[in-house]
Every structure is written in C-alpha cells, then in structure tokens.
DNA sequence: ACACTGACCACTG
DNA sequence: CCAGTGGCCAGTG
C-alpha cells in the first residue's frame, strides 16, 4: 500500500461506516495497518471536504469527542448530522460512544 | 532544504 | 493517575 492508497482507503472505509454508527481515527488507521498514523486520518478528512460523499461526521477521536467539528461549515454541523442519525451528542461528546462505535477491524474482518 | 503544524494514539515513568 | 513523548507524514511558510 503506497501513500496515496492510504488516503483513498481512509475515504473508502469512512464511506462504509453504517448510518447511525461512528468510528474513530485510530480505528481506521489500525484497520489500514498504520495505527500510528491516526493523525493522517484526520488529515485525510480535511482533504475530504471536496468529496461530498464522505461522512466525515461519523469519525471522531477515541473518546467519542467531536474534535473535528470546527472544520465543518459551522461548528454545530457535525452534531446536527449525528443527531439526525440518532446519535446523541452532549458537550461535544457522543453519549454511549461504546454503543455506537463501529470498529472496521472487526466489522470488515474477512473470515 | 528546514522547521513546524496538525480533525490522533499508545506507551512510559 | 496524569503529563510527557515519540511516531506517523502531507502541507505550508
């Protein structure tokens, strides 16, 4: 996997996050075999602004905090999108994050 | 070419 | 337990 593939894979995995579920930067990085490149996942999200079909709002940090909210059109946009999908957000943090967490390393595992 | 910055995370002492 | 730190690497000045 080369570098540009990494970015593309980040987008692909993000698109696979089911409606009403969320995942984390680290989980995506880990799934792609680069768990220490979670920062790059965030960077990829930044680049995903142009691609409108990437649900960047379903990607938060490992604590379920909406760290990327200020990169949306408005700071409340991310929360609105999540709550529209049934995910509760209080104080910029996802309530019962464990319940909604979608781990690609498990869900997309090949058997 | 160099230094610094991130929408982060796991490890260490 | 918590603060510090190293790793990752594309972009920017």
Q: How far apart are CA A87 and CA A7, in angstroms?
A: 26
pLDDT given at position A24: 95
| Per-residue flag: A101 CB under 7 A of strand C | no
Splitting chain A (111 residues) into consecutive groups of 10 residues, what average pLDDT does each group show? 76 94 94 87 89 92 94 93 96 94 88 59
Q: Where are the extended beta strands (E) located within A1-111? A: 23-24, 59-60, 89-90, 93-94
Distances (CA, A) of A42 to A10, A24, A57, A111: 9, 10, 11, 29
Q: What integer pLDDT is reported at residue A108 of this predicted model? A: 85
Q: Which nucleotides of B are covered by protein (CB under 7 A)?
A: 6-10
From the CA of A93 to the C1' of C2: give the distance in Å.
21
Q: What's the pTM value of the predicted model, to 2 decimals?
A: 0.91
A77 beta carbon < 7 A from strand B?
Answer: no
State which nucleotides on strand C lie below 7 Å from a protein beta carbon. Answer: 6-11
């Amino acid at each position: 996997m080369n570098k540009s593939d990494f970015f593309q894979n980040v987008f692909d995995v993000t698109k696979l996050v089911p409606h009403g579920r969320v995942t984390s930067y680290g989980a995506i990085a880990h799934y792609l075999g680069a768990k220490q490149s979670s920062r790059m996942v965030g960077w990829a999200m930044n680049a995903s602004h142009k691609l409108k079909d990437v649900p960047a709002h379903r990607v938060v940090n490992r604590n379920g905090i909406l760290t990327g909210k200020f990169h949306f059109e408005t700071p409340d946009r991310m929360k609105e999108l999540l709550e529209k999908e049934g995910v509760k957000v209080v104080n910029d943090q996802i309530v019962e994050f464990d319940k909604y967490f979608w781990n690609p390393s498990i869900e997309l595992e090949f058997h």
